[in-house]
Amino acid sequence: MLDMKFIRENPELVKNACAVKGFDDHTDEILALDARVRELKTITQSKTAEKNKITREIPTATDKAPLIAKSKQINAEIADDMAQLAKCEEQLTDLLLRTPQIPSPTAPIGRDDTENVEVRRIGTPREFDFTPRPQWELLEMNGWWKPEKIAGICGTRTYALFGEAAELELAIQTYVLQKLMSRGFTFVNCPSITKPQTIFNAGHFMGSDLSVMNNDVFMLTDTDRCLAGTAEIILNSLHSDEVLNEKDLPIKYAGFSPCFRKEAGAAGRDTRGIVRIHQFNKVEQYIYCTPEQSDQMHEHLLNNLCDVMEDLELPYRVIENCTGDMGFNKVKMNDVEAWFPSENAYRELGSCSSIGQFQARRTNTRFRASDGSLQFCATLNNTGIALPRAIVPVIENHQNPDGSVNIPKCLQPLMGGRTKIGGKH
């Protein structure tokens, strides 16, 4: 969430952020409620001081009755004022939680993903001398999945990989984790079960009503828990209510967890294959740092994922997301998209996001600066790798006419030295 002092001093910036991100503008309501909250606090403080003065006078007063009556009257007024104050603070908090993060002045202005900007393109899509097979045909002919069987057991948008494809999934995950650990990230094997408030604290949903998550989040019936859609949720709260030392920043985590999403807004999309499913595995990069370190850390996270794309020998491009596509809590965002031969298009494999101090205010995560002041941390996140989605460009780009798949060199040691899988059926 944004700092109230910042909103008071920069209302036009806040209004502009709402406009370019496509969210309702509550700035004027927020300022009016803030003024009323401060007025009521002043009034209650003044009346409390008056009541305390009368209370001190009562024991020595000749005629106590008028003072006692006045004290009771002021007490009733204070109770009314406090009730108004609580209501105004509740309304103010809800509107603050509906106000988006201010985008970077360098972010492209746009309505949706059609107005994103390509930053760079690495590698050239392969020209096949045969008709390349889509992911589902490669999986089918090699006996790497059983979609109908699994759907019958578990329902739609679920998957299971068998044999060499399952090995490949584990190899990619292991490779990425080892790479991140070599770059100073601490591996965290995160739980997937969490509290709704933890998801809310990551700033992906607006307002104070937690039920807004119900369309996207799997709630666990008759419990106070739900399933997280990314390890970011857990990592974001690891230092809640803590004061970190500036010298210890940045703190870098590589979180792994199974992830769960309803995909309610994706009905009819990617119904074939393993791109968009309810449960998947993901390695998530997450950083706590000072606001001054944020831009450098953004490039660090982005380069890590780009290096993984190159290690997997995939053509890819980097997108700078426009204001209308970057989401509620982001300052800036870059998508990394790999080439999918079956679609003749680039598809997103990860999103690198700078959040500023937006999440840290929700979790009260601060650091003691070298000048002794307390400041909120900046946070950033980026996909390390999302599986099984990342398997799709790997098997499609590296396939052979017989349906076998060449293993990228970086993965071969994790695949028992094999250079190729599949093509036996």
| pLDDT digits 0-9 by tens, 42-93 | 999 999 999 999 999 999 888 989 999 999 999 999 999 999 999 999 999 9
269 counts as catalytic: no
- 113-421: CATH architecture: 2-Layer Sandwich (3.30)
232: pLDDT strictly greater than 60? yes
Q: Where in the chain is the domain with CATH 1.10.287.40?
A: 4-96
Q: What is the pLDDT of residue 264?
A: 62
Report pLDDT digits (tens) over 341-397: 999 999 999 999 999 999 999 999 999 999 999 999 999 999 999 999 999 999 999
127 counts as catalytic: no
Q: Where in the chain is the domain with CATH 3.30.930.10?
A: 113-421
Report pLDDT digits (tens) over 252-307: 999 999 999 997 655 566 778 899 899 999 999 999 999 999 999 999 999 999 99
Choose the catalytic residue: 276, 347, 368, 418: 276
348 counts as catalytic: yes
- Across the beta sheet with 374-376, the strand order is 243-245, 366-368, 374-376
The shares of helix, strand and coil residues in the chain, as percent rounded to the nearest 5, are: 45, 20, 35
- 4-96: CATH architecture: Orthogonal Bundle (1.10)
Report pLDDT digits (tens) over 177-216: 999 999 999 999 999 999 999 999 999 888 888 888 888 9
Q: Could you give the CA distance from residue 38 to residue 40 in angstroms, rounded to a whole number? A: 5
Please classify residue 210 by burial: count the beta carbons closer than 10 Å to its beta carbon, then call 0-12 exposed, 13-18 middle and 19+ buried. Answer: middle
Q: What is the pLDDT of residue 7?
A: 97
Q: Which residue has the higher pLDDT, 264 or 149?
A: 149
Choose the catalytic residue: 98, 261, 361, 362: 261
Instruction: Please list, in sequence order, all residues whose beta carbon lies within 8 angstroms of the beta carbon of residue 270, skipping any fewer than 6 positions away.
Output: 276
Choose the catalytic residue: 104, 237, 351, 354: 351
Choose the catalytic residue: 8, 348, 368, 418: 348
Choose the catalytic residue: 342, 389, 396, 404: 389
Q: Could you give the CA distance from residue 89 to residue 82 in angstroms, rounded to a whole number? A: 10
- Average pLDDT (402-408) is 97
Q: What is the pLDDT of residue 208?
A: 82
Give the strand pairing for 117-122 and 243-245.
Answer: unpaired
Q: What proportion of the chain, given as a percentage, has pLDDT over 90?
A: 91
Using only C-alpha atoms, the chain has a radius of gyration, in whole angstroms, of 27
